[in-house]
Structure 1
Amino acid sequence: MQREDIRNSLIVSCQPVPGGPMDDADFVAGFAKAARDAGAKALRIESVAYVKAVRAVVSAPIVGIVKRDLPDTQVRITPFVADAEALADAGADIIAFDATNRPRPASVEELIRTVKAKGKLTMADCSSLDDARRALAAGVDFVGTTLSGYVGGPEPLDPDIELIAAMRQLTPFVIAEGRIRSPEQARAAAQAGAFAVVVGSAITRTEHVTSWFNEAIDKAYHNAHRETVLSIDIGGTKTMAALVSGDAVLEEIVVATERDAGPDAWLSGVSASTATWRDRYTRIGIAVTGFIEGGNWSALNPATLPVPDRYPLVDRVEALFDRPAFAINDAQAASWGEYKFGAGTGKNLVFLTISTGIGGGVVINGKPLSGLAGHFGLIRSPSQGQAAFEDQTSGKWIANEALKTGHPADAVEVFDRARNKESWASDIMSRSAYRAATLCRDIQMMFDPDVIVIGGGIGLAEGYLDLMRTHLSGLSLRLTPHLVAAKLGHHAGIIGAADLAGGGK
């Protein structure tokens, strides 16, 4: 076969749960035929025996792998040269193998030479952009995102769209694979630049799909008995109001934050915009940039949003809306949202939001730290006391740096220009990501969290998290923070504030 044979296609991974009721050659062959009949252009098959069984009934291209659990290495996918040879002889057209930078029985170069000697194509299952670079330099035909999220730390829930896009900058031959569980996620992978998209468990593992639906249904019934909370998130550029039940955002509105209008006007605007919701909620959660103490709101960095010192936020909200209210810093609220329902469920975590400014939150032993805890954007040691950290890293800093280079642009445009390989923009983004990565390294030493969840418009921008990880490469595994993208996205703060307003149970 040729590489072009699978361009813009769906590859179905027909791998039953090991030891499960469908772990049988007849079932695997049946999966393969059904997938091919439904339009899949290629198949990913595990084990020499199953490759032989599938080759006997379909002519479609096969990506073959062997999985082994070995005592002296974490490499599981096609670890031995003999495995690659056997897969080729069994009828696989593409041989995939682990291409991570870990101790291994056979080098990536050895595997590539072996497979090419058999006249077959090669696929490097990668965990990172560096893995892909090394594999491409060695002469691999395809790189895949297969192992992203599987080389240490908690397993993410969502596919690594950022890595797909980053790999696409290296080569057009990127195969998206890993945690693609819905047509929407498959579409996102394709739109990120994938040459082909692999879907496995969502199609061929009944056990996994059943558990996903069961969890969703359980959550729906559980949320049906939760009270509905009006949650308000007042940020430096926009204000969001939403009706929230558990982790479900029922309705939402977003309006610009008129910086000079002041908090009375901001709250009045929310009240007017949500007037039709008045009978649908029992209490109010408020997440705000700045510092909350005793229900009073103060700005720690007025450049982010000017707020009168000790503004009586909770009292004003309760008087205006006639409901009990709870207020918390927005990043602390988001940290709780990600702890209860998101990327750090049940773990000791630090949440870091990188946006107009930089904020954070800490949840340790199931309790959110309040007060000044997590205000990482305001630390001054990196600048020897000259400026707040966020003033040298965040979205406002990015725009200011662009202006200094003669390019008036906001952070979003700087990102776009960096993706277009404009060196001035790439340099600014790299410096911002380096500082954010260094902060995460310090946070790891301070709190030793299980995970650091990255959110915010800058933190979640395409490629930024990968830049941070690149700047952390070379550290020992024990010292390296485990960075994951916020699962709840821009809803993390309102969901966390709503849950805490309801008691945070």
Structure 2
Amino acid sequence: MDEPVFVAGFAMAAVAAGAAALRIESERYVRAVRPKVSVPIIGIAKRDLEDSPVRITPFLSDVDELAAAGADIIAFDATRRPRPVELAALVAAARAHGKLTMADCSSLEDARNALECGIDFVGTTLSGYVEGPEPDDPDIALIAEMAALTPYVIAEGRIRTPQQAAAAARAGAYAVTVGSAITRTEHTTAWFRDALAGAYRAAGDSPVLAIDIGGTKSMAALISAGAIIEKVQVPTAAGGNPDGWLAAIAAATRAWNGRYGCVGIAATGLVEDGCWQALNTATLNIPGAYPLAERAASFFKAPVFALNDAQAAAWGEYRAAKEAVNSVVFLTISTGIGGGVVSNGRLMTGLAGHFGLTRGASGGAGPLEDRVSGKFIAGEAARLGHDADTPSVFAAATRGEAWAAGIVDGSAAKVATLCADIKLMFDPDVVIIGGGIGLADGFLPRVSQNLAALPARLRPDIRAARCGAQAGLIGIADLARSAAGEGKP
């Protein structure tokens, strides 16, 4: 591209697209472009000198040649470094030709000195190029500092995106120069190459083995880039123990050995620092503080990250939200009630979200999940003389059978009370409800009916889970990948 015909083509294309001015290097390129465009041209000459680090328009003869070629503004290196000709003399030479002047500065002190020499425009052109490693981003702070000295600041240097150009304008730039992003095809190609290489590396990473251990069943899946490749379901043996549950999952996923790089385990109960313990033994009885991550690593021969299942699901639902939300509370209502909180984009761990153990919504009669969940619904049916499991109770409620509707309504009312309390405690953007009970036919409308009378500011925005039963798997896979890549979740 280093020929006058190409430079003139770039110049005409830029003007056709709305460029207000052009910055052109060398007398021969200014001379080639001048007849093709009517916008102002900033002219510079670049030279590599043995006795000075100054490269941009260092000589009086450069000023003469650029002026004769048709430049409207002459730009100079204005840094406080050893130079062949003083800045003031260059400014005077440009003025003698009736031309405006621009100072290419590296600092605020350069700009002050240039203005004292009578410069018309100051630019950030050399910020980051005088000493030290070259930064990646434009010097927005220097633009703002210069704008406090003069309104005629030209932002230049590493401005590669429209967003960066707009930021420069907001910082006070009178004009913005974009160079390499338009004319240096080898640079822009490299930016795209590097971005794509990173994306393809990420896409080519080994899948995650994601495991969700629940009170009645466990699921395992190979997950890559948020998508489930293969999945298997394993019963959680009643009366069993964690070693037995892990062994069963390992046997069911043996064909996947070697295909995953790390393992994420989402488990009901409290999971902290890789250790697992029960908070409600009626849901799943785990003896003591079981070293879940350590034991699982011995079964699956890969790094393991473990977390509470509802917290993992909260993260999965947060990542799946199509609209921008910063704060989410997730409730999974199934064998028990689990929950997770994402506040300002960060997942809360530890005890946060264990709403099933709260007692307010149950009137203090015991953990809320014992008065709401699937076991409670089936138990209530038996107490009333009906031989019906939980799905049968919901089916009967849908048919309008009063005994079943009463059970489901009672459960939904308690969940509504919990959601209203959550709104007051966390003020989340949305409360997302999932789980076999939470997503059962007619359950969420009943919850919403119980909230309808609340003032709008106090009424939580209730949503159905998007990921369904896969939320925990998707969330723990993402968290496990981050933990494996960064050493932390």
TM-score normalised to the size of structure 2?
Answer: 0.57
Q: CA deviation at 1:381?
A: 2.6
Show the 5 A alignment for 1:19-418.
224-342=203-321, 346-418=325-397
- Measured against aligned partners, the alpha-carbon deviations of 1:80-139 in whole angstroms (never above 9, x if no partner) come to xxxxxxxxxxxxxxxxxxxxxxxxxxxxxxxxxxxxxxxxxxxxxxxxxxxxxxxxxxxx
Measure, in 2, the Cα distance between the counterparts of 1:441 and 1:380.
14
Measure, in 2, the Cα distance between the counterparts of 1:290 and 1:480.
29
C-alpha contact 2:419 2:431 (8 A) present in aligned 1 = yes
The structure whose RCO (Cα within 8 Å, separation 6+) is larger is 1
Measure, in 1, the Cα distance between the counterparts of 2:467 and 2:332.
12
Q: Please state whether the residue corresponding to 2:258 is helix, strand or coil.
A: coil
Equivalent residue letter for 1:239: S
What percent identity do the matched residue pairs reach? 52
Measure, in 1, the Cα distance between the counterparts of 2:201 and 2:428.
29
Measure, in 2, the Cα distance between the counterparts of 1:344 and 1:394.
30
Equivalent residue letter for 2:448: R
Q: Structure 1 residues 303 and 226 mapped into 2: Cα distance closer, same or farther (>3 Å)? A: same
Match of 2:473 in 1: 494
Q: Please state whether the residue corresponding to 2:246 is helix, strand or coil.
A: helix
Measure, in 2, the Cα distance between the counterparts of 1:460 and 1:423.
21
Equivalent residue letter for 1:480: R
Measure, in 2, the Cα distance between the counterparts of 1:392 and 1:240.
26
- Measured against aligned partners, the alpha-carbon deviations of 1:179-212 in whole angstroms (never above 9, x if no partner) come to xxxxxxxxxxxxxxxxxxxxxxxxxxxxxxxxxx
* Structure 1: stretches of 5+ with no match in the other structure: 1-219
C-alpha contact 1:333 1:493 (8 A) present in aligned 2 = yes
**1:456 and 2:435 are equivalent in the alignment:** yes
Measure, in 1, the Cα distance between the counterparts of 2:299 and 2:407.
44
Match of 1:117 in 2: none
C-alpha contact 1:342 1:488 (8 A) present in aligned 2 = no
Q: CA deviation at 1:225?
A: 3.7
Measure, in 2, the Cα distance between the counterparts of 1:231 and 1:322.
14
Q: CA deviation at 1:411?
A: 1.2
Measure, in 2, the Cα distance between the counterparts of 1:258 and 1:274.
17
Measure, in 2, the Cα distance between the counterparts of 1:491 and 1:383.
29
Aligned residue pairs, count: 286
Equivalent residue letter for 1:414: V
Match of 2:144 in 1: none
**1:470 and 2:444 are equivalent in the alignment:** no
Q: CA deviation at 1:224?
A: 2.8
C-alpha contact 2:362 2:414 (8 A) present in aligned 1 = no
Measure, in 2, the Cα distance between the counterparts of 1:334 and 1:465.
18
- Measured against aligned partners, the alpha-carbon deviations of 1:140-162 in whole angstroms (never above 9, x if no partner) come to xxxxxxxxxxxxxxxxxxxxxxx
Q: Please state whether the residue corresponding to 1:503 is helix, strand or coil.
A: helix
Q: CA deviation at 1:283?
A: 0.1
TM-score normalised to the size of structure 1?
Answer: 0.55
Q: Structure 1 residues 259 and 223 mapped into 2: Cα distance closer, same or farther (>3 Å)? A: farther
C-alpha contact 2:328 2:429 (8 A) present in aligned 1 = yes
Task: Please report the RMSD computed on the Cα atoms of aligned residues, expressed in angstroms.
Answer: 1.7
Q: Please state whether the residue corresponding to 1:382 is helix, strand or coil.
A: coil
Measure, in 2, the Cα distance between the counterparts of 1:260 and 1:343.
41
Q: CA deviation at 1:334?
A: 0.1
Q: Please state whether the residue corresponding to 1:471 is helix, strand or coil.
A: helix
Q: Please state whether the residue corresponding to 1:267 is helix, strand or coil.
A: helix
C-alpha contact 1:343 1:484 (8 A) present in aligned 2 = no
Match of 1:443 in 2: 422
Q: CA deviation at 1:363?
A: 0.2
* Structure 2: stretches of 5+ with no match in the other structure: 1-198, 484-488
Measure, in 2, the Cα distance between the counterparts of 1:482 and 1:222.
38
Q: CA deviation at 1:345?
A: 5.7
C-alpha contact 1:338 1:345 (8 A) present in aligned 2 = no
**1:431 and 2:410 are equivalent in the alignment:** yes
Q: CA deviation at 1:319?
A: 1.2
